[in-house]
Chains A and B, each alone.
Chain A
Amino acid sequence: MKKRHVLLAVLAAVMVLSIGVGSAVAYFTASAEAEGAIPIKLKTTTTIEEPDLFRWIKHLVITNDEKSEPVFVRAKGFSGSAYPLTYSGEGWTEGEDGWYEYEEILPAGGSTKELLVGIGNIPEDAVEGQSFNVTVVYESTPVQYDSDGTAFADWSLTLDTGSSEGGR
């Protein structure tokens, strides 16, 4: 009986002391949170248009879709050595590997000025059944920026391509 009383008394004391234990192991803490999110468009869709061949010159216009990211475009023709090609057109300059690059950024819904691709050595006395074919291919790449914010074209990231054929 005596032991039981002592145990109960100790138990009561532990209960009382346990009130303080809780606050002794609790620490002040706080937290704060912030978040930012920015959407970026990645899709590019471009089309090439070519009116009828006129005087052996191809007139090419490349258009960027309304919902596309701004892009850079370039084009290149293939005709075979018998029919050499010449290029001209405002805003178009010769780049690497025979590509002709449009200097300006093509915004969503924007179009290039005409790229004129002249076909040379056309035989004046072509006969029935004689044919040749000229193909112009083009590529687009999304506009990228360096750390200073200067735009550049990274042609290793070409996403959209197309072509236009013509001849006789």
Chain B
Amino acid sequence: MKKILRSPITLVVLFVVAAGMILAGTIGGVLAAPLILVDKNYFASMETSDIGVGLREGTASCEDGVLFKDILKEGDFKIGKTYEELLSVENTGDIRSYVRVTVYKYWTDENGKAVDLDPSLIDLHFVTGSGWTVDEEASTSERTVLYYASVLAPGEVTSPFADTLTINGKVVKLANEAGDLDYDQVTFHVQAVADAVQDHNGDAAMTSAWGRTNHAG
């Protein structure tokens, strides 16, 4: 045994084996597809896990990434009126996953972000207590982070994390009193980002991806 270990040939062989294993691990995936196409006698079906997440507005998926479709159908937007805005998250993949949502609210004018206008005047009403909890530490007047407590099965939809949208009428006065700025027109924005992680090893996966779990205080 000692002779074998001392032999330079053993050393070379070990490195060749190690390099071979590394290469095999890398090349394997690349070769898999061509093998199926080239040799009809030898094929293997491989089931891959696909994680997916999507946002829903009302009963429709937001596949185009656009919100407020129903509100805009009602004609001119009315400041102060409470519009229904049901937002939820769906599992579009084929594995179970945990989800969270980060919602951003802000104003813009013709020059870009209107920082003088308070984002809290964009009153998107968040629904908590039905599975969703707000991460208060990570939330600001502009950003709200919500975690869904339950694991989401493939095809399953969460309860709504928001249900109504109202623009506070104070924006009219504030927009005209914001220092030297004089807003003729402003635009309010709501952006929602849904994140999903695998439920297998869920706590570790959430901590790795989000820095916390969905049940942290």
Contacts and interface: CB of A to CB of B under 8 A. Distances in A.
Given A27-B201, A30-B52, A38-B72, 8 more contacts: A5-B5, A19-B25, A29-B205, A32-B194, A33-B194, A34-B55, A35-B66, A35-B191
Given A40-B79, A159-B173, A34 B5 contact: no
Contact of A36 (B2, B66, B95, B166): B66
B208 A28 contact: no
Interface of B: 2, 5-6, 10-11, 14-15, 17-18, 21-22, 25, 49, 51-55, 57, 62, 65-68, 71-72, 77-82, 92-93, 95, 97, 108, 166-167, 169-173, 175-176, 183-198, 201, 204-205, 208-209
A33 to B, nearest CB: 5
A122 interface: no
Say whether chain B's binding surface is mostly helix, strand, loop, or mixed: mixed
B81 A31 contact: no
Nearest to B168: A144
Nearest to B165: A36
A39 B185 contact: yes
Interface of A is mostly: mixed
Contacts of A147: 80-82, 166
A40 B167 contact: yes
Contacts of A35: 65-67, 189-192
A42 interface: yes
A32 B167 contact: no
A28 B48 CA distance: 12
Nearest to B201: A27
Interface stretch (A9-17, A51-59, A83-91, A131-139): A9-17
A149 interface: yes
Contacts of B18: 12-13, 15-16
B109 to A, nearest CB: 9
A163 B204 CA distance: 69
Contact of B22 (A16, A25, A42): A16
Interface in A137-162: 142, 144-149, 151, 154, 156-157, 159
B193 A31 contact: yes
A37 interface: yes
A144 B169 contact: yes
A148 B83 CA distance: 9
28 contacts: A1-B6, A16-B21, A16-B22, A27-B205, A27-B209, A28-B198, A29-B51, A29-B198, A30-B97, A31-B194, A31-B195, A32-B54, A32-B194, A33-B55, A33-B194, A34-B57, A35-B65, A35-B67, A36-B66, A36-B189, A38-B68, A40-B171, A40-B187, A145-B79, A147-B166, A148-B81, A149-B78, A157-B172
